[in-house]
């Protein structure tokens, strides 16, 4: 079986936020919505103080709370472990948003514009074609990119054209993608050799996103 997952190296991330912009452009996300985020936190008091940068995305949990509560089956888990939302089935009840322990989901209530009063930009027109309103959305692991890549015989996480945008573009190579079920994949090896950690394991959702560093 395949279980896609991501590894984020906290040592390497410099909070350039390239992944956030990258994700927003890849999916033409409207104002106020970022499927990918980087949390910048300060710890300590002057002068013993540090800053950490933690990229977060949907964890594509193995035991996903969102999937369990979705009444219509719109949120579902694919065989390859990717949790997706079928917008056509989503009724916008937002139970999934309450259930997700990671705050990874967003409700696209209505069309928001970047330049209020200045019309709709061609980018927003393109976005309108892709993103429905009244539904819940979130990080998809760029599933379309993966599928297209697979069709061409490419390997997600190895070949750029089959790899999520935020991973492929990250300028410090802090992000990795691949098959967690394959012990030889780069992600599996990184998790093993760096004692990869999941976010809030106590929630029991078994995330497919691991942190190292």
Partner 1 sequence: MVKQIVNETKGKGGKTGKAIEKKKDDVWIPTCCWFCVMGPCLHRYHRVDGTVINVEGNTSEPGFDEWTRNQGRLCPKPFGLIEKVYNPYRVKSPLKRTNPEKGLDVDPGWVEISWDEALDTVAKRFKEIRAKDPRGVCSTFHSVAQMGMGGTWEAFYIAFGPMQDVRGGSGMRCGLGVHMFANTIHGAFRCSPDTNNTKYLLILGSNVVPSGGVCGNLNYAKAKKIVVDPMLSLTAAKADEWLPIKPGTDIALMLALIHIIIHELGTLDEEFLKNLTNSSYLVGADGHFIRDKSSGKPLVWDTAAGVAREFNAPDLGDLALEGIYTVDDQECKTAFQLLKEQMKQYTPEWATEICEIPAATIRRIAKEFVDNAQIGSTIRLDGIDLPYRPVDVIIGRPVEAGVHSYQNILAQHILVSLVGALESVGGHMGGCAHPTYYDHGIKPGADGMPQPIYHEFTWPPTCWSGCEAFVPFTKIFGHAAHLFWINMTNPPPGLPLPPPPQAYLRFRNNAIHSVGETEMVVSAMKKIPFIVSISYTYDEVTQLADIVLPDYTELERYDVLSPDYRLGSGRRFRGILLRQPIVEPPPNNRDISYIVTELADRIGFLDTYNNMINIRFNITDPYKLELNKKYEWVDIVDRMCKSLTKGEHDLEWFKEHGAIITPTTTEDQYNVHLHMVKEKIRYPVPYMDVVKTVGENLQANLAKVGVDWWSTKEYVALPSYLPSVLDTVPKEYDFYVTTSRLPQYSNASNNDCALHNEVMQQVPGQYEVLMNAGAARERGIKEGDEVWIESPIGRIKGAVGLSEGIRPDTLFMAGQFGQSVTPVAKDLAKLSVNAITPISYEWTDQVTGTMQSTIKVKVYKA
Binding site for ligand SF4 (CB under 6 A): 13-19, 23, 26-27, 35-36, 38, 55, 57, 139-142, 164-166, 170-172, 174-175
Q: Which is nearer to ligand SF4, 53 or 70 (CB)?
A: 53
Cis before 47 (ω within 30) = yes
Segment 88 to 107, residues that bind partner 1, using CB under 8 A? 88
Of 53, 102, 210, 211, the one binding partner 1 by CB under 8 A:
53
Per partner kind, with CB cut-offs from 5 to 8 A, the member of partner 1, ligand SF4, none near residue 34 is partner 1
Q: Is there binding between residue 153 and partner 1 (CB under 8 A)? A: no
Task: Give min distance, CB of 140 to ligand SF4, in A.
Answer: 5
Q: How would you classify residue 100: left for phi > 0, otherwise alpha for psi between -120 and 50, otherwise beta?
A: beta
Closest among 58, 82, 61, 57 to 2, alpha carbons compared: 82
Q: Is there binding between residue 115 and partner 1 (CB under 8 A)? A: yes
Q: Give percent helix, percent strand, percent coil of the chain, each to the nearest 5.
A: 25, 25, 50
Beta bridge partners of 131: none
Q: Which is nearer to partner 1, 163 or 205 (CB)?
A: 163
Per partner kind, with CB cut-offs from 5 to 8 A, the member of partner 1, ligand SF4, none near residue 116 is none
Task: Give min distance, CB of 125 to partner 1, in A.
Answer: 7
Instruction: Quickly tell me which residue has 């992000």 as its tokens.
Output: 175
Distances (CA, A) of 99 to 53, 75, 93: 25, 12, 12
**Residue 115, token pair as written in the block:** 């330049």
Of 173, 184, 195, 202, the one binding partner 1 by CB under 8 A:
173
Q: Is there binding between residue 109 and partner 1 (CB under 8 A)? A: no
Q: Is there binding between residue 198 and partner 1 (CB under 8 A)? A: no
Per partner kind, with CB cut-offs from 5 to 8 A, the member of ligand SF4, partner 1, none near residue 57 is ligand SF4
Per partner kind, with CB cut-offs from 5 to 8 A, the member of partner 1, ligand SF4, none near residue 56 is none
Task: Give min distance, CB of 196 to partner 1, in A.
Answer: 19
DSSP output for 159-193 = BGGGS-HHHHH-TT--EEEEETT-TTSHHHHHHHH
* Cα 53 from Cα 138, distance rounded (Å): 21
């Amino acid at each position: 079986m395949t279980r896609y997952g991501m590894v984020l190296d906290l040592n390497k991330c410099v909070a350039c936020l390239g992944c956030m912009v990258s994700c927003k452009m890849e999916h033409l996300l409207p104002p106020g919505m970022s499927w990918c985020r980087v949390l910048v936190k300060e710890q300590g008091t002057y002068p013993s103080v540090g800053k950490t940068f933690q990229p977060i995305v949907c964890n594509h949990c193995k035991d996903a709370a969102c999937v369990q509560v979705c009444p219509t089956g719109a949120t579902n888990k694919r065989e390859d472990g990717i949790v997706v939302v079928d917008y056509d089935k989503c009724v916008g009840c937002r139970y999934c948003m309450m259930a997700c322990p990671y705050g990874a989901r967003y409700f696209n209530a209505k069309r928001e514009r970047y330049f209020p009063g200045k019309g709709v930009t061609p980018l927003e027109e393109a976005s309108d074609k892709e993103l429905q309103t009244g539904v819940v959305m979130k990080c998809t692991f760029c599933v379309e990119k993966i599928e297209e890549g697979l069709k061409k015989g490419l390997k997600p996480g190895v070949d750029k054209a089959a790899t999520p945008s935020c991973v492929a573009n990250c300028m410090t190579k802090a992000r990795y993608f691949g098959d967690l079920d394959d012990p030889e994949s780069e992600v599996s090896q990184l998790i093993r050799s760096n004692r990869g950690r999941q976010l809030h394991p106590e929630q029991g959702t078994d995330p497919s996103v691991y942190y190292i560093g």
